[in-house]
Amino acid sequence: MTREPAIRWNRFSQLLHWLIALLILGMGIVGLTMTLMAPSIDKLKVYALHKSFGITVLMLVALRLVWRLAHRAPPPVPMPRWQHVAAQATHFALYVLMFAMPLSGWLFNSASNFPLQWFGLFHLPALWGPDPVVKHWARDVHEWGFWTLMGLVVLHAAAAIKHHYIDHDETLRRMLPGLPPPDGDGQ
Ligand code: HEM
Ligand code: HEM
């Protein structure tokens, strides 16, 4: 009996996938909590940290996209065509939202005329001048973008769990670190 080689995501892709997922979930929890805080120095500090970590997510997502375009993805696990198309569309939308979240936050910050520093180490330029219309629009994108992202992540994670426990295929295992290195050249 021949066994197909397990073609997996490489370690760096796995690291970026799980690190960015954790950061985004943490950013969401902090973002929703900090807006409820009473005005204080602590609130300002949490806002500053939210922004610095958010810019870090933007850098990691840009690195991830470059890495993704420079390396071949592992070939799709055999599955019905509609599932493959749905997975591709979801992954594309997840990438769009992974960029839209930090960029809309940065735009909101700029249009509100707040300065932006990265962990107090350097200043980032404003993406836009002070502008109440852009400010309002960017804030809506930031808030509703987050809920859209969460909806897609629930679908995405449910699909991964279904592939693992119901279809018993490699979809989830090949994105998990700590398993044997790939037999093939999957990236
Ligand atoms: C992955 C990145 C990010 C995620 C997931 C995220 C998520 C969130 C969430 C869920 C909220 C609460 C929204 C609400 O209910 O009003 C929020 C608020 C906020 N975020 Fe982000 N954020 C990210 C990046 C950034 C960045 C890079 C900046 C600025 C440079 C930023 C600036 C803000 C500000 C200023 C608020 C408060 C909005 C207000 O006071 O109404 N965020 N964020
Ligand atoms: C904020 C959370 C998450 C985001 C933004 C995210 C995003 C993505 C993206 C964009 C891909 C496509 C890989 C690429 O082309 O670079 C992917 C793949 C994958 N994700 Fe996530 N993900 C998240 C959370 C999760 C969770 C919670 C699970 C599982 C419970 C999961 C399981 C997987 C698996 C198994 C793959 C590989 C799919 C395949 O090989 O076809 N992800 N993820």
Q: What are the tens digits of pLDDT across the range 145-173?
A: 999 999 999 999 999 999 999 999 999 99
9-27 per-position pLDDT tens digit:
999 999 999 999 999 999 9
185, pLDDT greater than 80: no
pLDDT tens string 51-102: 999 999 999 999 999 999 999 899 999 999 999 999 999 999 999 999 999 9
State the pLDDT at residue 99.
98
Q: Residue 7: pLDDT band by 50, 70, 90 thresholds?
A: confident
Can you give the pTM of this predicted structure? 0.94
Q: Which residues surround ligand 1 with Cβ inside 6 Å? A: 24, 27-28, 31-32, 35, 47, 50-51, 54-55, 57, 101-102, 105-106, 108-109, 116, 139, 142-143, 146
Residue in 156, 161, 166, 168 to alter for ligand 2 test, most ligand atoms within 8 A of Cβ: 156
Residue 183 has pLDDT above 60, yes or no: no
Q: How far is the CA of 56 from the centre of ligand 1 (A)?
A: 13
What type of residue is 150?
Answer: M
Percent over 90 (pLDDT), the chain: 89
pLDDT at 180: 62
